[in-house]
Amino acid sequence: MPAEDTVFNVVYDKYMFWSILVGVFTFGWMFIAMLRYRDGVEPVENLEKYHIEVGSFPVDSHNTKLEVAFYLVPTILVVWLTMIALASNYSAWTIPSDEDTFNVDVIGKQWFWEFHYQEELTWEDDPSVTYVNVDWSASDLTVDTHGSEATNVTVEIDGVKFDYAIDLAAEMASISDFYLDVNLHNVVTVYDANDVLLHTWEHLPVGTILSTAGGENLIIPCDESSTLDLYSRPHDDSNPAYVGVQHAFWLPEWGVKEDLVPGLEAGTVMTFMPDDAGTFPIRCAEYCGDYHSKMVGFIDIVARDGASCAADTGIKKMDTGSDGGGY
């Protein structure tokens, strides 16, 4: 179900309002006419002067203002709805410049999604919700857990993990073993005594590749316009004649969908503006082979490190399960 403030939902609500209004008037007048002019009702006096003919107004007795209104009001309504539709198309299809958006390449394969980051992103869960705050600058990594039930920290640098215990008395952990290299994929995760994930801090450098085949989600910052360049490509280069199949990248939450066309080197483009933090579904809306139904994934809308989203973090969080993507 799309968010209430998307272009799709706004247009849907406007069209529904005018449709109901027109329907009430049309069917209301139809039932009145059926009751008033049905067989057996006392005829109108001097009926012969009306010269009623099918498809025309009475010749000798008519209401010019009413007749004009019959044509003018529907014309105005059609023009108004057309303007609404054109405005929504402009909003949905106008592509902002790369300098004004967060850019990610989305690669559709059989049967999973790959996300290639063209810009770096450093994000963190909301400390006001998790009661955990990660501060990693240069060679100093500090994890403040005051007020939380955190007991241990895992630092992951390009897939290599290191575990540390939190000083429960000081309610913090100070780690000086690592220098923050912005060219590496760095993740700091904080857990409680039952290994329940409480907090995540992550740095995604330019060139990071995430894949739903590995259960990874697309991560996008909130309150920023995002541009996705979409490509359909084969899983490998074993058959040079094979260029992939048609996919359609669909984000139901924002009511946007765009085709991925095999062989189209320039790709296609999708833009959207996420404003609510949370995890939302990704679907393929074009039949792409035997495992089309499994070509699913999730998108995480997060706040950049040191920022926050406009909406309450976590309200729309959903369970992605252990098989969120892949074959």
Per-residue model confidence (pLDDT) at position 322: 39
Q: How is residue 51 written in tokens?
A: 């010269």
Q: Which domains does the chain have, with CATH numbers?
A: 7-93 (no CATH), 100-302 (2.60.40.420)
The predicted pLDDT at position 292 comes to 94
Distance of CA 213 to the CA centre of its chain: 21
Residue 316 has a pLDDT of 41
For 193, the 3-state DSSP assignment is coil
CA–CA dist 227, 134 (Å, integer): 28
Q: How many beta carbons lie within 10 A of that of residue 89, not counting itself? A: 12
What length is written for the chain? 327
State pLDDT tens for residues 119-152.
Answer: 999 999 989 889 999 998 878 899 999 989 999 9
Judging by DSSP bridges, how do beta strands 218-221 and 296-302 pair with one another? parallel
Residue 238 is predicted with a pLDDT of 81
pLDDT in tens, 200-232: 999 999 999 999 999 999 999 998 889 999 999
263-289 pLDDT, tens digit per residue, is 898 999 988 888 888 999 999 999 999
**pLDDT tens-digit profile of 95-125?**
666 667 899 999 999 999 999 999 999 999 9
Average pLDDT estimate for 312-321: 42
Residue 206, both tokens: 């330019």
Q: How far apart are CA 300 and CA 220, in angstroms?
A: 6
* 321: pLDDT strictly greater than 60: no
Structure tokens at 45: 């006096």
If one compares 29 and 54, the residue with the highest pLDDT of the two is 29
- When pLDDT is averaged across residues 240-253 and rounded to a whole number, the result is 89
Q: How many CA atoms lie within 13 A of 103 on its CB side?
A: 12
| pTM metric for this prediction | 0.72
